[in-house]
Structure 1
Amino acid sequence: MLLEREPELTVLRKAVLEVESGGGALLLIDGEAGAGTTALLRELVRLGEDAGAHVLRCGGAQSERQFPLGVVRQLVLPLLAARDHLVPDASRAMLGVVSGAVGRNPGDELGTDTLASVLHGLHTALTGLSAGRTVVVAVDDLHWVDEASLRALAFLAARLDGTRVLIGVVLQDGGSSRDPLVREIADAATYRLRAEALSEQAAARLMADRFGAGYDSEFAAACHDLTSGSPKELRVLLDRAQAQRLRGRAVEVERVRELGRSFRRERLLRLLRRDRVVHTFAKALVVLADQATEDLVVRLSGLSRDECAAARSVLWKARLLSGSGRLAVHDPVLTRVVMESLGAEESSRLHRAAAALLDEYGAGPEEIAVQLLHVDTVRDAWEVDQLRAAAVAARRRGAPDAAARYLRRALLDLPMAGRERADLLVELAAVEWDTDPASAVRHIEQAARLMPDHRRRAEVVSRTPLHMVGCDRRLADLVREVSARFGDPGALSGYDRELALRLEARSRYAAIQDPEALASAGDRLVELGGDAALGSGAERELCVVLMRAATLNGQVGARPIVRMARQVLDHEPTHSAPMSAALQILPWMLLVADAGDVASSWLDAALAHAQRQTKPALAALIEAQRGLVLLGRGDIVVARECALRGLELADRDKPETMLVPAIAVGTLALELQDDTLAERVLEIAGSDTDLRMFMMRRCLRGRLAAARGDLPAALAQFIDCGRVLDRAGWVGSAVSMWQVSAALLHHRLGRRQEAIELAEENHRRALAWGAPTAIGRALHTRGAVIDGPKGIELLRQAVDVLHDAGSPLELSRTLVTLGKRLQSAAPAEGDQLLVRGRRLAEQSQTFSVGEHAGGLVRGVTPASAPVARSVLTRGEATVAELAARGRSNQEIAAELEISRRAVEKHLTNSYRKLGIEGRSALVSALGVHGHGE
């Protein structure tokens, strides 16, 4: 059954009728493979037979193109064998060679005279035969006809006038461009038919024939889409659907799509196996991939431009290539099938040839390296150099994974020992620090062992990022080993001194928990030059490491630390941030020294550079450090946003990238008394072997335990933290926050003497450090644990210290504590101080001021509600909260066992302190749910 072929059938009938009247003609049927061209040719044969014509059939085949006169033989042998002597003796004599041995073997040569005899013999035979009745010659797959037979058909096509010979030929799309003789025959066509794809309506008719009227339109549409309306493919797909017991229902659409994908793959395989030119073109196209151009495909495939154009047309009409005008694969099934068809040897040969062609055409190193990734072995220095250059280009564009892939491929075929391998391992480690630190450590160790001398080993180890030395014990041991053998920096000069200083910086960084190493940091800092210009990167790096050690140990005050930090940042380029000790260390030190602004502009510039380079791990680190700087400035909301952004950008699968963001968010959680942030930091997987993270975890756990009311457990966390820090030599004020919390907890548990001793020790450390916030907090703590006038005086001193240069957040807390202490003795001054503290906290847009030090009394509530609660006495806060929840004055009095007058007095005081009109405003002021919620 031919569907939607009425116009084509009309042309076929017309051609047969007109040829009967002596108007010999050639009829061309073209179309895509599977579009029904052969079916139309069969219909021509049927019409000719019905009209009484003598029909001759033949067809080309790709595998037989090398046999000369193969198609002519298909036409002539039946005529020569006929009993009624259809071929005259003269023609028979000229065609005798066809029945002989000539042309039966591939490559047989036909002489000019022999071929001319065949051409004339065929022409006279058909002309004579058509004198009695019409002759229809049906030729399928003209594009695969052998050259000698094409000459014969072209000879006939030019001499049809006056005969009753109708030649019908089938030509697939793109076939006419492969051979000039095919084009010549096609151009001689009197009638042209095109087998178009079936419409959805015709596909629906086929569906109805197969599944009856109960099929679903969604199923039919899917079948039509999968086959592009090709009649042959549509019938095959429906056959398979029936074999799978599908019934044409909408719920079966996905199953028929799976069948369609499988069938599409099979169809492509058949096309590639049948058509050598298309297969060769497709291999070149897939190998070149995004780099494919017409010139490169022609060069790599070895095909002519005409052959490439024909193959491209076939693949495009099969919807396998992009229609954008450029050479690009549209359907990934083409790539998969072609790659599967390539053997390992052929694949390697094509990719290596593609790499050489791309280099010849001036392609970039990454374009060349993509090809070299697929070769069986990297054979020579040129290929290694291309892969290394590609790695550099990939790093420059912010693609470390690609860079690592190029270098690993270069390493794969290098000998296991030697300088070249060591150099490549160093380059690979430099790429992997941000993406795969564990592998980077392993590769640095391997490279160091392979280096031929100790100086080269020192160069390798000195490139190790500081933070990685602190994270990996094996790497720390290697650094110490190489550093010990390299020599004293003071006895060296030039480049060797630079190496020695970098090795010393890494050794001291790795020994950050060694009390003896910490104890020598101050003297070494003075020896290094102290205030001297730090123009050398190695000097700056060591200086920063020593500054950190001296800060932790409490040997150096805040002022010299800030002065040296300024010097370092004045000389430190922001583009060096990925490897910079300044970025890793200075922001925290400047925060605890009340000088965060010193690093502010440097961090902003470093962040802009990291964003241009698309380095999320670096951006995470910088954002976290910016959060600390902003916290010290009092920009609480922005500080919180930066720290959380840093945490989001960090890779949770790489603990070393999470460390600084986690510490930044943890610091904010303690300062802002934010239990949610505290829990978030504690959820981060990681080891407590890093003392900074250990300290943060202990403080956060203590904070949460105190918020739950479990004061002994909270105290145990802080005391344990202090014991470990003291044992490691971390006795500076910068890491003595645990003393503040422990002193307050001792005081709340009634252990007055322990509280006072801890508070005084904290004060001594703060005075040695000299930062206003540390001193103010220490005075605040002493004032909180000492009763009477002495405690009030200490609180007043804390306010004075913090007023000019300290943290606004700490000042707001101190004002609240002092205000509460004065409410009984000097109510007016106490209320005034409470209001000042509240306003200062609100200006910082913080979440809570609490009573003091890490929110050891109250939990967190939204907006400014904690600030509002803090200005109320405990009795006022309790009564105000009950009133906000909808209780009447009488109910509150009964529940609290106080007089109704006392309830009214508490509420009046609360309205005044909170600056609100009455009971209705309590809900928003206190941040509680209203009645019935």
Structure 2
Amino acid sequence: MEPHPIVGRDTELGELSRLVASSHGQAVLVRGEAGMGKSLLLAAAADQAGALGHRVIRVTGVESEMALPFAGLHQILHPLLHTMSGLDQTTQAVLDTVFGRRTGQAPSVMALGIAVLDVLALASGEVPLLLIVDDGHWFDPQSAEVGGFIARRLAGHAVRMITAVRADTPSAWDSAAVPELSLAQLGPESSADLLRMRAPGMPPAVRTRVLELAQGNPLALTELPQAVEQGTAGRMTADELPLPRRLEHMYGDRIRNLPAAERTRLLLAALDGGGAGTPTAGRPRYRLQQAEEAVARGLLVLDAASGELLFRHPLVRSALLQTATPNERRAAHARLAELHRADLERHATHLAAATVDPDETVAAVLERAARSASARGGATAAVALLTRAAELSPAAGPRSRRLGDAAFVAAQSALLDTADELRQASDRLAAGTPSPAAVVTAAYTALYQHGDVRSAHRRVVHALRTMPSDTGTRTGTDTGTDSQSAVRTRLLNLLLAISLFSADPALWSVSDGLVDAQGRGADETTLLYRDVWGDITRRGHGARERLQELFARLDEEQPWDVMRLSVAAYYLDALGDYRFLVRQVAEREVGSGAVTNAMTMLQVVMLDQITGGDWDAAERTGQRGLELSTRHGYTLFEHQYHGFLGLIAAWRGDAARAREAMNRLDRWARPRGVGYLTQLAEAIGAATGLTEGDYESAYAYAGGLTAPGTFTPYSQQAPRTLLDLVEAAVHTGRGAQARAHTDAARKQGLPAISPRLDFLTAAAEAMTAEGEAARAAFERATRHPAAADHPFELARVRLAQGMWLRRARERAAARTVLVQAADAFERLGAAPWARRVQAELRATGAPGGGPAPGQAALTAQERRIAELAAGGLSNREIGAQLFLSPRTVGAHLYRVFPKLGITSRAALRDALTGTADAEPEE
């Protein structure tokens, strides 16, 4: 039988037709209520693509698989497995991890998205490819995030993508930033045409009633005539129900009249995603067979391409679940649990749904599945699995602990309200004694949302001191064990994090004592965190080797394990070896994973970018982390990001922004006792002073962090600002203090803790050396193996070296190192430092009116702006003349000053007089 034409959707069909026939890749999101014809439009697009000789891949989201990370992506990639042999090893490894062919860390959205794009590029190499995603609102969040990522990047590929979602169902596609095509109700004329086409002999009175009930919904207009003929339209008069629910009732009436065996087969398919399209790669799915009566009743259709029986509409699947009795659903889940015994997470999900009475064996399976889910970026799914595991726990103790584990994972996922509810449930089972879950959740809220380090510290200390002695075997893990030692480890790790933020020797003394009390039973990771997060100048020796061992022993990586180790790696300047892993996990957890950990790991990524001299990328990461922290109400992290952004602003010469960040931190953190942030504010103050040449101010701030000749205990900033204090002391004539601080760094053994501290110590020794000893000291510092990894500090050392060489009348040698310093400062965007180098270059005899050696001449635009500024016009007035914003004018002048070797507008006129002709603008 010929299919009926699509009525009333000419505009939408035209849009999709243009997309399919387009000469370049693009994507669209089709949005509409249930029954509006989304699937029909997608089928029409698929037919057109097939007629054009294009390849078509159709996948369908399945509601029962929303909790299974990457289930939707498996559908997309399964038909393309044969193309993957042409991929490079890195891309293949990313996909093998998702397919379960190898164990390891689940890739980030970016890494996975790029890998999928590579597959799609290979698949579309000979003929264009159309990727159709129906019921996208039922994609698991991880697959939807990857789908949105690739949809935004199809322009350079012969791939088109159409995704259909329901308008009334939230999903991860809502934030995909993909062009949308919205489906409205059919107008009266189109509705009448469609009904006339489907039921030409319907009496006028009945036709009027059907049009009234259908409300312009194409599915209702298609199905109601049959319901009227069969006398099953009575439920449609319940006008108080939404139309999709009324259609669902209508399908339910048809389902009830099916033979029992056939109804069971349909239910199995509905619960397992059968009848929805392509089977998930590597995962067997129940296949619909022997359902002739369901086909006859319009519940199923035969897919001509695959030969599979498919549900006619998603509402049929919903109606099956609504009409099945609880016993029927449980029996179906039990059969599916056996079918998926080899797939831990799917097996556990179906097993839990099939179980009514408490069962410790089932609870343990759910607990293992939760750990697997959180290791694959599905921390929110892990919360649901742990909660169900608690419900099925026969005894109060394991039930309370599993609720506590769920609360812990929820807190790691920025679900503090959920964590608090789970904590309260755990407490009720603990017979009035606050459970570890209660302490952890309350401490997280106090710390992250309010910055109350004292209260959080007090709660955790009390919990640790009142815990019973260990009765189990220490595992060193955070979830999945009845051992008191594992709970104690979790509390100790939280206590150390609180102590890190406090930077308070008094609180650290208590924390150290509780860690020491563990003796030989202390977890190795906890000992590392205590030594590195705390008094690193006195306990950091040998920690890098311990860190390497712990990273090497990571097996099923939990995001919180990677997060804590990454923080330790940053403080030990060892992040380079684990940079890819940390960025990968951070990207993976941002969506539906352990978001709290993602916020911290993005900080580590940002600090790594600052250290490596990629300040533009660091600012982008910082803004992203700031938005994430603000959205979830994590005020502590919000202030941290403001602080790190303020530090970049300080080094780049944006003093106003730096001081704003410094004051924001100090006002919020000092009353709360968040010493980590008040010390960060002091570091911003020192950086601002050094950049502006206000060395007295810089010395006051740096000296506030740590007195010359000492390193404040439990301060992360004290060793990291070693060079700042020495440089400020040298420029303020405090040579004795500068040398004392340099000697203290060597005696304290800072060079043995990390390559960065070794380099900073060498740099400080060069700046404080006297006479001929300075020559060798500067050579040692600039040739240090770690110098290239710290371009900003290296440029500062070269600036100091150039100044020493100039005073030694070695002008040619001075110009060489000064030009290297100038190039580095310009790449970093550290304009005031670049201007300072230009002044030194002029003092070496470099032409004062022209560009310094190694610098480009002015462009035409820069010269015009410089001339107007030399004439006394303000940035706003210049912008009005040249149709530029004042900010853009200022940015041009920042580049002009170092090129001319000047530091102020007042010097512009004299500098321009001797400037060579401007180069043509590129």
| Equivalent-residue separation in structure 2 for 1:233 and 1:323 (angstroms) | 34
CA-to-partner distance for each residue in 1:207-256, whole Å, 9 max, x for gaps?
xxxxxxxxx99865565457863336796797369979xxxxxxxx9967
The corresponding residue for 1:400 is: 379
CA-to-partner distance for each residue in 1:307-336, whole Å, 9 max, x for gaps?
x5213332247x799996545434334455
The corresponding residue for 2:799 is: 816
| Equivalent-residue separation in structure 1 for 2:869 and 2:256 (angstroms) | 95
Distance 1:813 1:728, change over 3 A: closer
| Equivalent-residue separation in structure 1 for 2:491 and 2:865 (angstroms) | 69
| Equivalent-residue separation in structure 2 for 1:475 and 1:314 (angstroms) | 63
| Equivalent-residue separation in structure 2 for 1:277 and 1:685 (angstroms) | 72
1:425 matches 2:403: yes
Paired residue for 2:292, among 309, 316, 336?
309
Q: Which moved more, 1:726-735 or 1:711-720?
A: 711-720
| Equivalent-residue separation in structure 1 for 2:498 and 2:643 (angstroms) | 19
CA-to-partner distance for each residue in 1:463-496, whole Å, 9 max, x for gaps?
999999975766644532343356999xx99999
CA-to-partner distance for each residue in 1:502-523, whole Å, 9 max, x for gaps?
7656545543433135469999
- Map residues 30-429 of structure 1 onto 2, 5 A cutoff: 220-221=189-190, 223-224=192-193, 229-231=198-200, 239=208, 269-270=249-250, 272-273=252-253, 276-278=256-258, 285=266, 289-291=270-272, 308-316=291-299, 325-335=307-317, 342=323, 347-359=325-337, 367=346, 384=363, 387-388=366-367, 391-392=370-371, 394-395=373-374, 397-411=376-390, 418-429=396-407
Kindly state the Cα deviation for residue 712 of structure 1 after the two structures are TM-superposed: 11
| Equivalent-residue separation in structure 1 for 2:767 and 2:632 (angstroms) | 40
Distance 1:605 1:451, change over 3 A: same
| Equivalent-residue separation in structure 2 for 1:461 and 1:601 (angstroms) | 37
The corresponding residue for 1:847 is: 829
- Map residues 384-533 of structure 1 onto 2, 5 A cutoff: 384=363, 387-388=366-367, 391-392=370-371, 394-395=373-374, 397-411=376-390, 418-436=396-414, 438=416, 439-440=418-419, 443=422, 447=426, 471=448, 476-485=457-466, 507-512=495-500, 513-516=503-506, 518=508
Higher relative contact order (CA 8 A, sep 6+): 2
Kindly state the Cα deviation for residue 633 of structure 1 after the two structures are TM-superposed: 5.5
The corresponding residue for 1:774 is: 760
Tell me the C-alpha RMSD between the 2 structures. Answer: 6.7
CA contact (8 A) 2:650 2:658 kept: yes
The corresponding residue for 2:227 is: none
| Equivalent-residue separation in structure 1 for 2:360 and 2:528 (angstroms) | 42
CA contact (8 A) 2:705 2:718 kept: no
Q: Which has more radius of gyration?
A: 1
The corresponding residue for 1:589 is: 571
CA-to-partner distance for each residue in 1:270-316, whole Å, 9 max, x for gaps?
5654784159767974685242669xxxxxxxxx998x521333224
The corresponding residue for 1:920 is: 918
CA contact (8 A) 1:647 1:661 kept: yes
Paired residue for 2:863, among 885, 894, 897?
885
CA contact (8 A) 2:360 2:393 kept: no
| Equivalent-residue separation in structure 2 for 1:357 and 1:497 (angstroms) | 37
CA-to-partner distance for each residue in 1:811-864, whole Å, 9 max, x for gaps?
21233356468769946555344213224556xx43226339xxxxx8xxxxxx
Kindly state the Cα deviation for residue 920 of structure 1 after the two structures are TM-superposed: 0.7
| Equivalent-residue separation in structure 1 for 2:566 and 2:510 (angstroms) | 21
Kindly state the Cα deviation for residue 545 of structure 1 after the two structures are TM-superposed: 1.3
| Equivalent-residue separation in structure 2 for 1:267 and 1:580 (angstroms) | 49
CA-to-partner distance for each residue in 1:520-561, whole Å, 9 max, x for gaps?
9999999999xxxx9x9813421331233222xx445x7655
Q: Counterpart of 1:920 in 2: which secondary structure?
A: coil
| Equivalent-residue separation in structure 2 for 1:830 and 1:567 (angstroms) | 44
| Equivalent-residue separation in structure 2 for 1:430 and 1:235 (angstroms) | 63
Kindly state the Cα deviation for residue 405 of structure 1 after the two structures are TM-superposed: 2.0
Distance 1:839 1:887, change over 3 A: closer
Counterpart code for 2:399: R
Kindly state the Cα deviation for residue 702 of structure 1 after the two structures are TM-superposed: 7.9
| Equivalent-residue separation in structure 2 for 1:486 and 1:217 (angstroms) | 66
The corresponding residue for 1:834 is: 818
CA contact (8 A) 1:670 1:703 kept: yes
The corresponding residue for 1:183 is: none
Identity fraction in percent = 16
Distance 1:430 1:226, change over 3 A: farther
| Equivalent-residue separation in structure 1 for 2:404 and 2:765 (angstroms) | 52
Counterpart code for 1:919: D
CA-to-partner distance for each residue in 1:643-693, whole Å, 9 max, x for gaps?
778778889426377788777666655556678997998999997454334
1:696 matches 2:680: yes
The corresponding residue for 1:17 is: none
Q: Which moved more, 1:616-625 or 1:869-878?
A: 869-878
The corresponding residue for 1:16 is: none
Distance 1:921 1:238, change over 3 A: farther
Instruction: Output the TM-score relative to the length of structure 2.
Output: 0.50
The corresponding residue for 2:718 is: 734
| Equivalent-residue separation in structure 2 for 1:441 and 1:908 (angstroms) | 70
Q: Counterpart of 1:851 in 2: which secondary structure?
A: helix
| Equivalent-residue separation in structure 1 for 2:865 and 2:404 (angstroms) | 72
| Equivalent-residue separation in structure 2 for 1:722 and 1:497 (angstroms) | 40
Kindly state the Cα deviation for residue 583 of structure 1 after the two structures are TM-superposed: 1.6
Distance 1:736 1:642, change over 3 A: closer
In the alignment, structure 2 segments of 5+ residues that lack a partner are 5-184, 223-241, 276-287, 477-482, 752-756, 875-906
Counterpart code for 2:577: S
The corresponding residue for 1:579 is: 561
Aligned residues: 629
Paired residue for 2:526, among 536, 541, 548?
541
- Map residues 637-786 of structure 1 onto 2, 5 A cutoff: 652-653=631-632, 655=634, 688=669, 690-696=674-680, 699-700=683-684, 730=714, 734=718, 737=721, 740=724, 763=742, 766-767=745-746, 768=748, 769-770=750-751, 771-775=757-761
Q: Counterpart of 2:832 in 1: which secondary structure?
A: coil
Counterpart code for 1:538: D
Instruction: Output the TM-score relative to the length of structure 1.
Output: 0.50
Q: Counterpart of 2:632 in 1: which secondary structure?
A: coil
| Equivalent-residue separation in structure 2 for 1:763 and 1:256 (angstroms) | 79
| Equivalent-residue separation in structure 2 for 1:488 and 1:270 (angstroms) | 62
CA contact (8 A) 1:651 1:658 kept: yes
Counterpart code for 2:760: A
The corresponding residue for 2:577 is: 601
Q: Counterpart of 1:481 in 2: which secondary structure?
A: helix
| Equivalent-residue separation in structure 1 for 2:203 and 2:711 (angstroms) | 81
Q: Counterpart of 2:298 in 1: which secondary structure?
A: helix
